[in-house]
Structure 1
């Protein structure tokens, strides 16, 4: 596999945003996938990714919380800012030890100001609503985001884990540039309605967890090495009753990868890249060698027959992607704007 392939550029959405065809998910550097990684190592990794042509960096105020944005801000000093298309997100709250989701206009503005300060920036390239607040009409949330665009504090608006109807309602208020969703060989439920809706409206697609949260990188042995504070350990697909079945899936994917002379993770990532030039996967990693391997997926070419073979294998996956559907696109409907009382 060519190690020094140049990462191409793609247009994300219809409003002018251009990003690297593969992005870098930064969450695992600071949160959720075990303890935070050493800051100097992560800054070095980010700089290396930029040097390889990966310029679309993805973070959120929820990662840490806040510490990942601070890390990214430090990494973007020393002249790196102009080469990067930075995405961050808002919506998750941790107030009084309680988890929540907010999308009311006051919170949208306060969250944006907080992210700008932590990142050390004047403007965010792509600002997502991380999860949908089902108590606030999406029109009210996007209306405030539209004001932030007009004020120059954000350039483009995105949604994450939003249903097709939510996307349509949001897009009617202000053009949505990108929808971030989980899309991989073992997570394909978005293909029925959400992907076609995005394409109809000219909205770019950002695929998170394109390697099945590391499953296609390490297979079942991934679970053996997870720390107790790694939340993958508690996800249904990694539970014993499902993992043994899913192990067979990995072995079959691995056999195809061996036949093609690539790794299972490159094969799985190549499958996402083959979905279209409006799709930007954002695999996360904390290791330079894994980043190089992810870039190598751009060299893996799949025939229609190979795509079908992979999809046939993956269709037998067992286990839901989360322990519940709370906070996913399946539960993202919001009340009509006519019910909203602005305070």
Structure 2
């Protein structure tokens, strides 16, 4: 099994954003039961953020509610909560004051129901030396036992190389999917492999497009902020659906869904010599979708290569994020 710090986690994790960060949030009672189904399906790595939702309903309040109901599960689950982006503006802030305010807020909202296994630096703030940000986290929170470790998110290879000089990096959270294989080419995966840092792969379903459920951009409106991302807009979406059509042919041949094949391919990348352990964290808001996403589908070397050839030959339309959102920090 993959390891985050010294914790065994399943081969497929779980992203929490969809519960609390969209126009119509999932009722907390329903969300708690979906989390239970995810854990029973083996998805025991849960990934959230301070800014996923409102002060009243967010990743931390959801996790607190879960472990209030199921306290016996606390030792079975590893959680990563990222922060250091302003909750409203999403501007990165790595100052000592922001670090203390953010981590203290996360811990307060968890209410002692679950240890914060890993705190993630959501985006690097280049106005503040990375060493300064990390040293506050390490000396005031890791060394005192308030959190278990530190991870990076949406980072560049240079940030990884610098961070390991100051702390053990528990994980690196970056986007990886058939639509976005960028980390396999830009040095991020190679840096993680060099230091044996596991990758937590967010958006393995291409923000939902690889489920095959989207036909027009009207089908994405329920996703909230994600519906405004360039690759899900108009002509870009129309072009990007051509990749889904190719994936569906292979999925039908494999006897699985396009979503399952997409997740399986992300996992299969771990078998390459120049990549570390990769744990995809698809999101889902229903138990039915959880069961689909967490079913482990293993690919042969030939199947993985066939998919990789398609991925390498496809140029997605549109950038990953809208203008103004920092990437590869």
- TM-score, normalised to structure 2, is 0.91
Partner of 1:141: 133
Q: 1:101 aligns to what SS in structure 2?
A: coil
Q: Measure how far apart 1:326 and its partner are.
A: 3.4
Partner of 2:307: 310
Q: Aligned partners of 2:194, 2:85: CA distance in 1, in Å?
A: 29
Give CA deviations for 1:224-281 in whole Å, capped at 9, x if unaligned: 3333671222111111121221121111100111111100000000001112271111
Match of 1:126 among 118, 127, 137: 118
Give CA deviations for 1:130-155 in whole Å, capped at 9, x if unaligned: 11111111111111111110011111
Asked if 1:209 corresponds to 2:203, the answer is yes
Q: Report which stretch shifted further, 257-266 or 48-57.
A: 48-57
Structure 1 residue runs of 4 or more that deviate by more than 3 Å after TM superposition: none
Match of 2:248 among 236, 246, 254: 254
| Kept after mapping to 1: 8 A contact 2:216/2:238 | no
Give CA deviations for 1:63-83 in whole Å, capped at 9, x if unaligned: 014422111111112322121
Q: Aligned pairs, how many?
A: 315
Q: Aligned partners of 1:255, 1:155: CA distance in 2, in Å?
A: 43
Q: Measure how far apart 1:51 and its partner are.
A: 1.9
Q: Aligned partners of 2:18, 2:222: CA distance in 1, in Å?
A: 15
| Kept after mapping to 2: 8 A contact 1:43/1:74 | yes
Match of 1:72 among 63, 67, 73: 63
Q: CA 1:99–1:183 in 2, change beyond 3 Å: closer, same or farther?
A: closer
Q: Report which stretch shifted further, 179-188 or 114-123.
A: 114-123
Q: Aligned partners of 1:196, 1:74: CA distance in 2, in Å?
A: 38
Match of 2:108 among 97, 117, 142: 117
Partner of 1:59: 48
Q: Report which stretch shifted further, 71-80 or 195-204.
A: 71-80
Q: Measure how far apart 1:216 and its partner are.
A: 0.8
Q: Measure how far apart 1:98 and its partner are.
A: 4.4
Matches within 5 A, 1:124-273: 124-147=116-139, 148-192=141-185, 193-221=187-215, 223-227=217-221, 230-273=224-267
Q: Aligned partners of 1:207, 1:98: CA distance in 2, in Å?
A: 24
Gaps of 5+ in 1: 1-8, 333-343
Q: Report which stretch shifted further, 229-238 or 40-49.
A: 229-238
Q: Measure how far apart 1:312 and its partner are.
A: 2.6
Partner of 1:5: none
Partner of 2:298: 301
Q: Aligned partners of 1:312, 1:20: CA distance in 2, in Å?
A: 27
